[in-house]
Structure 1
Amino acid sequence: MDLRKAQELWDAEPGWLNTASYGLPPRPAWEALLRAQSQWRHGSTDWAPWDESTGRSRAAFARLTGAAPGDVAVASTTSYFMGLVAASLPPGARVVAPEVEFTSNLFPWMASAEVSCVPLDRLADSVDARTSLVAFSLVQSATGEIAPVEDILAAARAHGALVAVDATQAVGWLPLDATRFDVVACSAYKWLMAPRGAAFAAFSPRARELVRPLAANWYAGGGAYYGPPLRLNGDASAFDLSPAWFSFVGAAPAMELLLEIGVERIRDHNVALANRFLAGLGLPPGGSAIVSVDVPGAADRLRAAGVRAAVRAGRVRASFHVYSTEADVDLALAALTGPA
């Protein structure tokens, strides 16, 4: 699908530069959600049609990340997946993580293991024979920095360490191959533009052997409603949580639209807008859809101009997605470079 034609499927108000906080639904996703909520209101259907969206979403996430659908589990949050892996690590496990890391991929490890926090650019060098697992965000939430994946993977392989990646700020705009990692977890309400309450994780065979199904439930057991024995699905869906149906009803059409447009095309569009923004501030280009800038009074100036961005770590964070336009960028630049 042509990207400019696809942009007609969104109803974004000018100045939305905050997808790193939450993404905006395309019209097919919004309308599907409204239909499901109307059905709920009137009791006009069983829940099974809503749950079909969970399977569609699982398949879409697999295609977006290069995983097999059977390697993908569904839940509601990234921290659930990371906590599941963390609680399955052996006693005395050592985890290495960036010192500036989103807490959903930090606190679960701290609750269950010894964690060493180091600068992101020293992460690979800090992996040694005592390291059980390396945890990091593929794209950093605060800055948009893309992790040095090749170096980290090489160090982890050399020492036999597992690799758990939070891809929440990546999937949907940055192409990736989930099969290169042991765990790739993602909350879908940002770049996948789903309602909050849908999350996915792809597990490697090694990770599936390690992880215990500590939240085993009817959904992970193939719909086993009552009584023993314990019976769980034979693939990664053994780690599923019972889905928040409406979140997946909105997720499926949004993710399928991303696939139809093409992630590489979206990446090029997003990064071009980010670089237009940086150039307008006299800054060098980057390779991320998220940028962090230090401009005096920026938050107030953007707010006054009707531009919605975020402040993280004391800096203004702007993020650009498929529905973002050059006009959005120029509106922000006029606010930041014009008279105070």
Structure 2
Amino acid sequence: MRHAFGTTFDVDGVYLNTPSIGVPPRPVVDAVSAAVTAWGRAETSAPQFDGAVAAARGAFAQLAGVPESSVALGTTVSGLLGLVAASLPAGSRVLTADREFTSVTFPFAAAGHEVMEVPLDELPERTRAADVVAVSVVASADGALVDLEALRAEVGPDTLVVLDATQSLGWLPADLSWADVVVAGCYKWLLAPRGAAWMALSERLAERVTPVQSGWYAGGWDAIYGLPLRLHPDARRFDLSPVWLAQVGAAVALPWIASLDAATVRDHAVGLANRVRRGLDLPPGESAIVAVRHHGAADRLGVAGVRCAVRGGAARLGFHLHNTEADADAVLEALA
């Protein structure tokens, strides 16, 4: 058990796999457990979850720096971006980074658009040749950060910008409000159960998107039977029916994360990552994710009980709220 940032985490051992699955704090676990218990006792009804949906949506908007009215609810990043991809003219040119996470690229490729991959550091200067730029704020594979300031400065007025913040929201404070799309899943750095994702849309893009996935939740309780089509006037018209237990957890996790001092969280996470970088004679970085390419690193970490993932042949380590200097030192000891 660990105490950090005013809460408790039931973490045993060295867990550095937040980029794959985040570890929820005890209040999130308790809220979801209580909801499951109530479900098992037949003590639940659908309207009881509306408050959780609203709380999570509002906290996502706060974290992303966007109006709450611009936020649509989904279940996965790829599902939400599928709506965007389907709204584009046929054969649109979509610029992305090499080795981009496929939940970002596959929806555009599957829709028949021309998806062009370029090195991440070259992406801002290449935006003029694209109709859409779709990229992760922080790369899943190795934690590399896109240069948001350069991207914003270089992108043309007619080019749409799609930012996947799944690997950044929760530890990296950044101005994302200028993008046409800000999308993120909940189960990594946002520490909620898998099954919830949100997407903020700019006004100019929202006007072009057809809510082809809309069901009753996109219209609300007055739209559960019969025609005509009647949907919410704001981005809720793109909502999917929520995964209730995921929303229960998100309604606790996201407001709590949004209440923390974002700079302090970043300094904590990046500071631990840089402690490992220094110990391994790697240059300092600005990411909470460290890709360790030392020979046999993943095997040695596994033997030492350090939980992480392997991406592109490197051991990928992610430092978040529950991690400590002792965790970073355990990595260095295992790789000494």
Q: Give the TM-score category using the shorter length.
A: over 0.9
Aligned to 1:197: 195
Residue 115 of structure 1, CA deviation = 1.2
- The question of whether the paired residues in 2 share the 8 Å contact of 1:136 and 1:166 is answered with yes
For 2:93, give the aligned amino acid.
R
For residue 117 of structure 1, give the secondary structure of its aligned residue in structure 2. Answer: strand
Residue 205 of structure 1, CA deviation = 0.6
Aligned to 1:214: 212
For residue 241 of structure 1, give the secondary structure of its aligned residue in structure 2. Answer: coil
For residue 219 of structure 1, give the secondary structure of its aligned residue in structure 2. Answer: helix
CA distance in 2 between partners of 1:310 and 1:236 (Å): 35
Gaps of 5+ in 1: none
CA distance in 1 between partners of 2:60 and 2:325 (Å): 29
Residue 73 of structure 1, CA deviation = 0.9
Aligned to 1:245: 244
Aligned to 1:117: 117
- The question of whether the paired residues in 2 share the 8 Å contact of 1:169 and 1:190 is answered with yes
CA distance in 2 between partners of 1:127 and 1:181 (Å): 14
CA distance in 1 between partners of 2:231 and 2:127 (Å): 34
Residue 5 of structure 1, CA deviation = 4.9
Residue 283 of structure 1, CA deviation = 1.2
For 2:260, give the aligned amino acid.
I
Residue 246 of structure 1, CA deviation = 0.2
For residue 73 of structure 1, give the secondary structure of its aligned residue in structure 2. Answer: strand
CA distance in 2 between partners of 1:53 and 1:190 (Å): 19
Identity percentage of aligned residues: 47
Any idea what the Cα deviations from partners look like across 1:283-317, whole Å, max 9, x if unmatched? 12100001111111111111111100111011111
Residue 54 of structure 1, CA deviation = 0.8
Aligned to 1:127: 127
Aligned to 1:60: 59
- The question of whether the paired residues in 1 share the 8 Å contact of 2:3 and 2:9 is answered with no
CA distance in 2 between partners of 1:120 and 1:86 (Å): 21
CA distance in 2 between partners of 1:6 and 1:246 (Å): 24
Aligned to 1:257: 256
For residue 185 of structure 1, give the secondary structure of its aligned residue in structure 2. Answer: strand
Q: Is 2:335 the partner of 1:336?
A: yes
CA distance in 2 between partners of 1:190 and 1:255 (Å): 12
- The question of whether the paired residues in 2 share the 8 Å contact of 1:7 and 1:322 is answered with no
For 2:67, give the aligned amino acid.
A
RMSD: 1.4
- The question of whether the paired residues in 2 share the 8 Å contact of 1:137 and 1:166 is answered with yes
Any idea what the Cα deviations from partners look like across 1:152-211, whole Å, max 9, x if unmatched? 22222x251000011100000011233210000000100000000011111111111111
Any idea what the Cα deviations from partners look like across 1:80-119, whole Å, max 9, x if unmatched? 1111100000123111111210000000111121111111
| 1:1-340 map, 5 Å | 5-6=4-5, 8-112=7-111, 113-128=113-128, 131-156=130-155, 158-223=156-221, 224-337=223-336
Task: Pick closer, same or farther for the CA change 1:5–1:292 going to 2, 3 Å.
Answer: closer
CA distance in 2 between partners of 1:138 and 1:230 (Å): 36
Any idea what the Cα deviations from partners look like across 1:232-252, whole Å, max 9, x if unmatched? 111111111100000010111
- The question of whether the paired residues in 1 share the 8 Å contact of 2:4 and 2:322 is answered with no
Q: How many residues align?
A: 333
CA distance in 2 between partners of 1:259 and 1:165 (Å): 19
For 1:213, give the aligned amino acid.
P
CA distance in 1 between partners of 2:169 and 2:16 (Å): 17
Stretch moving more, 9-18 or 269-278: 9-18
CA distance in 2 between partners of 1:204 and 1:68 (Å): 10
Residue 151 of structure 1, CA deviation = 1.9
CA distance in 1 between partners of 2:130 and 2:281 (Å): 41
TM-score by length of 1: 0.95
For residue 14 of structure 2, give the secondary structure of its aligned residue in structure 1. Answer: coil
CA distance in 1 between partners of 2:135 and 2:204 (Å): 18
